[in-house]
Amino acid sequence: MNEVGGVPHELLFDNLKPVVVKPRSCDEEAVISPEWLSFCAHYGTATRVCFPYRAQTKGKVERPIGAVKTFLYAHTFLDLGHLEEELARQDRAYNERVHATTGMTPAERLLLERDFLLPLPERPFAYALKLERVVSRDCFISSRGNRYSVPHAFAGRKVCLSVTPTEVHILSPQGALLSTFPRGAKGGGESRIDPEHWAGLPGAEEALRNLRRLEEMGLSPFRVEKRDLSTCEEAAYGPGGRS
């Protein structure tokens, strides 16, 4: 929406699972997920859902997906940066192509339609991913390749996670906030620890003291060394790997 410069009055969707809880039918309206309704309320837009098996509307939704699939299947990407560069190039080419129905390029059409868009809000929508986790016996939960400590009273029990782009909030099943940590990078192998989570446990103070000493020596037991798969093959099959 930021690149377009505004918000459409209405968004048309097929029965996309993150948006539609229960599909629309001839007798009943679709049931929209609460999270998506919050997003729409923030931007002031409305959601319209296609009737199942109705090609006149579903085609409008599915047509752009073909361009995305063609782009992904026809390319090999070296890394995320390369993907973003190729996607930007493809996006420019797509928006400069004359559309058979309108006789205009999408870029030209946007210039005509931009005045009819709703204004963007001052702040972007603050989303949070809702998850459930079972706390391990050593009082940790895992999320996206990182570990976060939880009060020892919840070991072996389920807790709820609210994950934002910058933070991880851990809550009890009843919704009480247990702890908040800065969110680790995906697959970072980090362990975020609050020593108070082990307070009162026999031997906890000494264990945390030893942990600090190991971390100072660069020997944290919570960080797993990442190695290339060729290292594993060499260990299993000898120099040169699998023949």
**What does the DSSP assignment read for 108-158?**
HHHHHHGGGSBPPPSS-----EEEEEEPPTTSEEEETTEEEE--GGGTTSE
Q: Is residue 229 part of a domain?
A: no
Q: Which residue has the tokens 């870029």?
A: 107
The verdict on 23 and 79 lying in the same domain is: yes
N- to C-terminal Cα distance for the chain?
Answer: 52
Model pTM score:
0.56
The verdict on 86 and 163 lying in the same domain is: no
Q: Is 168 helix (H, G, I), strand (E, B) or coil?
A: strand
The residue type of 167 is E
The verdict on 23 and 95 lying in the same domain is: yes
Who wins on pLDDT, 46 or 16? 46
Domain limit, last residue, from 55, 87, 116: 116
The verdict on 91 and 157 lying in the same domain is: no
CB 105 within 8 A of CB 97: yes
Residue 204 pLDDT greater than 80, yes or no: no
Q: Which residues neighbour 140 within 8 Å (Cβ) at sequence distance 6 or greater?
A: 147, 148, 149, 150, 191
The verdict on 143 and 87 lying in the same domain is: no
The residue type of 114 is R
The verdict on 61 and 90 lying in the same domain is: yes
Average pLDDT over residues 122-134: 86
pLDDT tens across 39-82, in order? Answer: 899 999 998 888 777 766 666 667 777 788 888 888 888 888 89
Q: Is 175 helix (H, G, I), strand (E, B) or coil?
A: coil
The verdict on 25 and 84 lying in the same domain is: yes
Q: Which domain holds residue 177?
A: 129-216
The verdict on 89 and 145 lying in the same domain is: no
The verdict on 149 and 198 lying in the same domain is: yes
Number of domains the chain is built from: 2
Q: Is residue 133 part of a domain?
A: yes
Residue 236 pLDDT greater than 80, yes or no: no
Q: Is residue 3 part of a domain?
A: no
